[in-house]
Chain A
């Protein structure tokens, strides 16, 4: 198991001793416990020490999830019902995708304030393209073109940031203004809807968000996914052990596989409960696998490719990366392209979710960027670059989605929800800053 660049903080600690024994010096040196643990027990102990010395990884966000779940369940007993939970998953997917998009910019030490509007623009474009009275494109062509367009937007912004060295928050701030105007133009001033089930293309688009697999298929998919993941993890660890590289203990791998299986089963089970008031709606919604595929692809990209390695390098020290031969403009531009692309995917889901899009909804998509940044930071990605993983986007997106869902269930008006989310963002940013205490920073 390699030391994930996303997990090693930027601080430099003098371990004080040459001998990496499993004690406080290891924790202080911020070595990932998987590397030095030789048994499950040692792993757990080292993890605990790490947490106590301030390097807690995804623990805060998991605790946050639990806290949100408990708090809202107490306030409103319907929070943890199957129907609401699936609702929650569904609503969170947009936040998750936007957070994953944002993470590509945050890892570089930049920021992309336009993700919300790219999503808005994407949603409007895809909806307009399938209109039978208008372009009347097949749904898959509409989606492809939309994704290309959003990636192109990312390319333009990325070029401005990477080659002209304009500050990213200004470029994306101006970008979001321009995109808002363009989206309104595309919308043609009124509204566009995909709710008419007579037209197959509209129906296909609608189904993306609202449709689901049958329960049986859901279990099959789960089995296949868990099986593949298990096989992959096992083989990788076995290969490392065979070549005498540093690998996690077998018991740890088994535990991970078990956890994935359990979590996956829980999700499938909850989704398969009938959640309709009348008739039957059951099964895993299509969007969950969609999001998981994006998660898998991005994680692979960031952890196992040169490109990903360079992204972390730039975030850690752009000068060092440049001297090592990394082509900064290329990597930076591609990160913004990916951010745009993933925001485009979010846009397709958004169109499907909202069913009809108006100018007001476009304007409101502005506030999603804050949620995306908050989700990424809550999940554990740092605002200063060099630290974060795509899974943070998933977890943080769930927290944000949970907060929104819970507050909405309690009947809180949208102004107050804005206030709460702002507070959550600030708290997350504070935690990020405080966890960097001790690392060299600004004056």
Chain B
């Protein structure tokens, strides 16, 4: 098991002693417990010590999800929050934020920020929608999607170049990008009140529509889940065994087993929820939305890229110590430009999903790019990605996105009348501030110097 750079805070702590024993010193030394623990009991003990010393990893976001679920379930009229039909809606809405948060994570890891991710996402969505129009360009859906990726990737590369080569601070260049592309969005749409929508009777356009709205039948979903769990389990097992044989560091086997079991349980829960009939007895609506496996694929890709490729390694390195990375021979501008480009390209996917989520309709009122970016940064940060760079993983974006989606939808379920619109602004703002506060405090608690 490798020490995931996503998990280690950038603290400098003098251990004081050469000998690191498995106790408070280790916790203070911020070593991921999986590395040193020889048994499950040790692991739990060290993990708890780490939590108490302020380095809690996924715990806050998971707890927050639980709290949000409980609170909204209580205060929603008729306790409807946890109804399967609402839950599936939340899953669907959250996927947009998950994808956007994963995109933003790439840039946050560099200790930069991309404030244009919302506007770029919408541009990507609109471009894809416009390209599949009949009569019109009538491109095949996959080509339209690729075009959206490419164009948004180019936008990101441009912003990355401004930041990396011309040294314009990233929040200024992406702030300008935000304004620029908000305007461009309206221009592409053809005016402030125009819309572009998908015609679902056209099979080509229907594919995009089905990304969020389409469903996988429960049987197929179970099969897919089983295959994924077994494959993941087998490969993890094989890897652990192989590393043990070569004498390399491995976590206790039972830990791997527990993680696998938890994943399987969570997956099963999702499938079960989605399999409950949420239509009527006349027209049953069951099944897992296609978007969930789509997002899991994106999660898988970004996890592999960030943890297992050179490029991902260098992203963490630049976020941790740009000077050291430069001296190691890595081209800083190249890494930065690619990170911004990939962030914007991934955001394009988020935009396409957003359009699909809103029943295939895109207008300039579909989403507010400013609100999108705030939700996105909030999702990433509360998921566990640090604003100061060098710490975070793709899974953090997924969990944070789920939380934000849950909050956003929960607020709209409460019939608060005139309060509901302003709350849609106030809540994410508050969540963002709390998330960042936690991030700052956890860096403080770990002894890091965040500057004067």
Contacts and interface: CB of A to CB of B under 8 A. Distances in A.
A165 interface: yes
Contacts of B180: 418-419, 422-423
B242 interface: no
Interface in B124-167: 162, 166-167
Judged by DSSP, the binding face of B is helix
A160 B433 contact: yes
Given A181-B425, A421-B179, A422-B180, A170 B377 contact: yes
B82 interface: no
Contact of A415 (B172, B175, B186, B440): B186
Interface string B405-433: 00000000000001101111110111011
B436 A181 contact: no
B436 A429 contact: no
A251 B113 CA distance: 50
B436 A166 contact: yes
Nearest to A369: B175
A189 interface: yes
A177 interface: yes
B175 A370 contact: yes
A241 B13 CA distance: 57
A178 B429 contact: yes
Interface string B175-189: 111011011101100
A184 B452 CA distance: 37
A429 B163 CA distance: 11
Given A319-B452, A433-B168, A419 B183 contact: yes
B225 interface: no
Nearest to B439: A166
A328 interface: yes
Contact of B425 (A177, A188, A384, A415): A177
Interface size class of B (residues with CB under 8 A): 35 or more
A169 B171 CA distance: 8
A367 B425 contact: no
Contacts of B432: 170, 173-174, 177
Given A160-B433, A419-B180, A433-B167, A426 B173 contact: yes
A166 B440 contact: yes
A167 interface: yes
Contacts of A367: 179
B422 A185 contact: yes
A164 B371 contact: no
A26 interface: no
A180 to B, nearest CB: 4
Contact of B451 (A318, A359, A363, A373): A318
B183 A174 contact: no
A230 to B, nearest CB: 40
Contact of A175 (B169, B192, B368, B429): B429
B450 interface: yes
Contacts of A180: 422, 425
Contact of A177 (B162, B371, B452): B371
Contact of A373 (B167, B172, B322, B377): B172
Interface size class of A (residues with CB under 8 A): 35 or more
Interface string B353-374: 0000000000000001011001
A429 B176 contact: yes
A422 B183 CA distance: 9
B159 to A, nearest CB: 10
Interface string A390-427: 00000000000000000000000011111101110110
A322 B452 contact: yes
A320 to B, nearest CB: 9
B387 interface: yes
A433 B176 CA distance: 15
Given A166-B437, A184-B425, A415 B187 contact: yes
B365 to A, nearest CB: 11
Given A111-B171, A169-B113, A171-B433, A433 B177 contact: no
Contacts of B421: 181, 184, 189, 359
B243 interface: no
Contact of A422 (B113, B179, B422): B179
Nearest to B162: A426
Contacts of B419: 185
B437 A164 contact: yes
A174 B429 contact: yes
Contacts of B167: 433, 441-442
B332 interface: yes
A95 B404 CA distance: 34
A93 interface: no
B313 interface: no
Interface string B309-331: 00000000000001100100000
A315 to B, nearest CB: 12
B184 A165 contact: no
A394 B192 CA distance: 32
A255 interface: no
A338 interface: no
Interface string B369-412: 01100100100000000010000000000000000000000000
Nearest to A320: B452
Quick one: which of B177, B418, B419, B452 has the most chain A CB within 10 A? Answer: B452
Nearest to A175: B429
Contacts of A383: 169, 172
A363 B323 CA distance: 42
A231 interface: no
Contacts of A171: 433, 436
A366 interface: yes
A246 to B, nearest CB: 33
A366 B450 CA distance: 30
A178 B426 contact: yes
A13 interface: no
Given A188-B418, A422-B180, A430 B168 contact: yes
Given A433-B166, A443-B322, A182 B176 contact: no
A61 interface: no
20 contacts: A164-B440, A165-B450, A166-B437, A166-B440, A169-B113, A173-B377, A185-B419, A319-B452, A359-B421, A370-B176, A415-B187, A418-B182, A418-B183, A419-B183, A421-B179, A422-B183, A425-B175, A426-B176, A430-B166, A443-B323
Interface of B: 113, 162, 166-169, 171-173, 175-177, 179-180, 182-184, 186-187, 192, 322-323, 326, 332, 368, 370-371, 374, 377, 387, 418-419, 421-426, 428-430, 432-433, 436-437, 440-441, 444, 450-452
Given A166-B433, A178-B425, A419-B187, 15 more contacts: A165-B451, A177-B426, A178-B430, A183-B422, A370-B179, A384-B169, A418-B182, A419-B180, A419-B183, A422-B177, A423-B176, A433-B168, A434-B166, A441-B167, A443-B326
- List 10 tightest A-B contacts by C-beta distance, closest first: A177-B429, A418-B183, A181-B422, A181-B425, A181-B426, A422-B180, A178-B429, A184-B422, A443-B322, A174-B433
Interface of A: 111, 113, 160, 164-167, 169-171, 173-178, 180-185, 188-189, 318-319, 322, 328, 359, 363, 366-367, 370, 373, 383-384, 414-419, 421-423, 425-426, 429-430, 433-434, 441-443
